[in-house]
Amino acid sequence: MLPGRLGEDGKRRGATATATADEDATTDADAATSASAASLNDLCATAAAGAAAGAPAPFPRTAAWAVAALLAVGLGVGALVLAVVHSAALLVVALLLSAAVAAFLLWNAAAAASGRALRRFVDGLQASSLRVAADGQLVKITGFVSCGDISLISSYEKVENCVYTSTLLRKCARWGSVTLNPWNQCSKWKLAHAERFAADFYITDAKSGKRALVKAGHHSKVVPLIDENLLVTTSRDTELSSTLKYWLEERNLSSEEAQVIRLEEGYIREGMRLSVIGMLSKKNGDAMILPPPEPLSTGFVLLSCLLPSYFDGIVLRLVDRSYFVPNSGVS
């Protein structure tokens, strides 16, 4: 069994487990469990790499170095002019220009790392209708979620009937064996363990009432824009709960090292309202939403000074945030 991924019986949705000792029935049950496990989409790598994993960076590193070199030359020339002509005008202009460019690059780097640029793009995109959208069109479908062949259970809170789950364990950054901040006011949290999974599910279009299968499972590329709840925050003086200790032991994570940690969890549960962006496929009257064949750009946002951001895969943007409790957690 995969803890926190499938149901307690490794269930396949709609199937009933028989309690007989018949060898054939046991074999069939094992095959169904294996098939369900194979349908899971392991997205753990995207937790560490960020939402835009595998997509081009908004600003190439070589271009950033080229701009930095030009600004350095400008500052050098300005300093030379100041020394020879005793005019600081060129140096001041170079300094202001350098500060503006640095702020622009930092602003875009932060937007790309947090997914803010992609969220703005998704929220500003007009919702499509499954009734009129054409085959092969990039669509944004907003509606209610229902489970497909399998459903997931969140790793820590054990929330059932999910189509996506994310559980992240972060540790306070350390310098050697000493915590950087002894007062547990950690300024940097390092990802120590990630569990992020998705499965195929259905979404009912709010505009047309039609239903489409979202192929988020079986190694599909998925970009989840889902906020995690902060469930647990500990310090060096905190006594770990039995639930947290058991969760750590299940994953061979030492509770001795869990001095300053935070545990976050998010999910998409059946019945939640979700926006999905992907390529529409219409075959034999069935509608499916598939990952785009190549990374797509959000375009330049002039008013927000945001460079184009790229996404590679089906985008999941949760509209229903009723489960999300900001700044929660047990200290």
- Do 105 and 151 lie in a common domain? no
- In Å, how far are 108, 115, 199, 229 from 307, measured between CA atoms? 7, 12, 32, 29
pLDDT score of 278 more than 90 = yes
pLDDT score of 331 more than 60 = no
Q: Residue 187 has what pLDDT? A: 66
Q: How many domains does the chain have?
A: 2
DSSP lists the bridge partners of residue 279 as: 138, 290
Q: Is there a domain that residue 331 lies in?
A: no
Cα angle vertex 151, ends 147, 157, to 5°? 120
Look at 27 and 228; give whichever has higher pLDDT: 228
Q: Which of 46-60, 103-117, 263-277 has the highest mean pLDDT?
A: 263-277
Q: Is there a domain that residue 38 lies in?
A: no
pLDDT band at 94 (very low <50, low <70, confident <90, very high): confident
Number of C-beta neighbours around residue 255 at 10 A? 14
Q: Residue 9 has what pLDDT? A: 40
Window from 5-9, 39-43, 173-177 with minimum mean pLDDT: 5-9
218: left (phi over 0), alpha (psi -120 to 50) or beta: left
Q: Is there a domain that residue 298 lies in?
A: yes
- Do 232 and 279 lie in a common domain? yes
Q: Is there a domain that residue 295 lies in?
A: yes
Q: Is there a domain that residue 56 lies in?
A: no
Q: Is there a domain that residue 10 lies in?
A: no
The domain of 242 spans 129-175+187-318
Element of type H or E holding 40: none
* Across 188-204, average pLDDT: 90
- Do 93 and 158 lie in a common domain? no
pLDDT band at 257 (very low <50, low <70, confident <90, very high): low
Q: Residue 138 has what pLDDT? A: 93
pLDDT score of 267 more than 90 = yes
Q: Which of 120-129, 230-239, 256-265, 317-326 has the highest mean pLDDT?
A: 120-129
pLDDT band at 59 (very low <50, low <70, confident <90, very high): low
Q: Is there a domain that residue 17 lies in?
A: no
Full-model pTM: 0.74
